[in-house]
Amino acid sequence: MPLLDTSPATRAEEHPEEHPAEHAGSCCSPATSRAGAPGVRTTVPAGARSTRGQATIPAGTFWMGDSHGDGYAADGELPVHQVRLASYLMDTKVVTNAQFATFVKATGYVTDAERDGVSAVFHLAVDAAPADVLRSATGVPWWLAVRGADWRHPGGPRSGIADLQNHPVVHVSWNDAQAYCRWAGKRLPTEAEWEYAARGGLDRARYPWGDELTNGGRWRCNIWQGDFPGHNTLDDGYLTTAPATAFQPNGYGLHNTVGNVWEWCQDAFRPTEYADRAGPEPVVAPVAAEPDEDPAQVRRVMRGGSYLCHDSYCNRYRVAARSSNTAESSSGNIGFRCANDAA
Ligand SMILES: [Ca+2]
Ligand SMILES: [Ca+2]
Ligand SMILES: [Cu+2]
């Protein structure tokens, strides 16, 4: 069984010049083939609900999508349309290694990457014996399938998380994120909830803090500086993950919505989602319909970009940017934060 499959998006990487839009598609993360996946859970019973570490996001209407023309057409960030949401809750930071460890200790949960024995690691982050570096993903040679890479070993078997307790947990699939949320009395955000919360109250801005990427040259988030994928100048201080509370929070008190790690959302991903639902009236609390296919192969929305994003290759560190991966996929730059219904 191939460890890293060649989904259409990944296959396009072999001829990037022919598919400029798709080319930008997978700086982000390669897909993995595995079996089995649970269904979606959209609400948490009031009695089981935990609001720990969550900020209240006020009810409101916002413009969802790319108001600046920055996006890749194939991602479906257009049309910009109004979305109305009731108040809800969002974690102020992504789930950390320490938090995930508490979950695993309490439940004995085994992640998809652990069950599979392999996960995707960025080439400069590999910490493994050569024999454990199995292969690169087709067309994205900076992604290596590493045997023994999992949330406890983000760079491979020789790495650990002792010094990364307050960093995002990574190598967690959408399935794993769902399991954590259920245990925590929380749920994944919908894509609309993610974007509205990430905007922090700023109307149609590019970033959670405004329209300018840096503050007079000072970085406001953890992305890539230098030449991707070979040389990172570390201007923002981090080659891979930063602590979950690094950098200033946005107007709602949320840290690192853009940059650091991709964040799973509840919704199935469709490039035509916005086009299909946009109309003259605001769309109320949209959530993508569940596709009628093998749950493991359903592509799930990921938001916010990661420490690998760079303007030269993938500018998905904007609040409007969209990406996706299959529910069973994991890599060293995908994590998640939880949401909840208002108390
Ligand atoms: Ca960085
Ligand atoms: Ca993020
Ligand atoms: Cu990216």
Which of the ligands is closest to the CA of residue 308?
Answer: 3
pLDDT tens column, 284-298: 999 999 998 888 889
Q: Please answer whether residues 34 and 115 qualify as being in contact, where contact means their C-beta atoms are separated by less than 8 angstroms.
A: yes
pLDDT per position as a tens digit, 124-133 = 999 999 999 9
- Ion ligand 2: residue ranges with CB closer than 5 A: 256, 260, 304
**pTM, 2 dp:** 0.91
The ligand placed nearest to the CA atom of residue 262 is 2
Identify residues whose C-beta is under 5 A from ligand 1, the ion: 222, 236, 238, 307
> What is the rounded distance in angstroms from the CA atom of residue 14 to the CA atom of residue 117?
26
- For residue 156, report the distance from its CA to the centre of ligand 2, in Å: 22
Residue pointed to by tokens 């994205």: 140
CA of 1 to the centre of ligand 2 (A): 31
CB 62 within 8 A of CB 169: no
Domain architecture of the chain: domains with CATH: 3-30+53-341 (3.90.1580.10)
* Residue range 259-315, pLDDT digits in tens: 999 999 999 999 999 999 999 999 999 999 999 888 888 999 999 999 999 999 999
CB atoms under 10 Å from CB of 292, counted, come to: 6
pLDDT, mean of residues 30-41: 52
Which ligand does the CA of 304 lie closest to? Answer: 2
* H or E stretch covering 175: helix 174-184
**Nearest by Cα to 81 from 281, 270, 269:** 281
Sign of the CA dihedral with 231 first, then 235, 236, and 238 last: positive
Which of the ligands is closest to the CA of residue 259? 2
pLDDT tier, 43 (very low <50, low <70, confident <90, very high otherwise): confident
pLDDT digits (tens, 9 = 90+) for 176-225: 999 999 999 999 999 999 999 999 999 999 999 999 999 999 999 999 99
CA 27 distance to own-chain centroid? 13
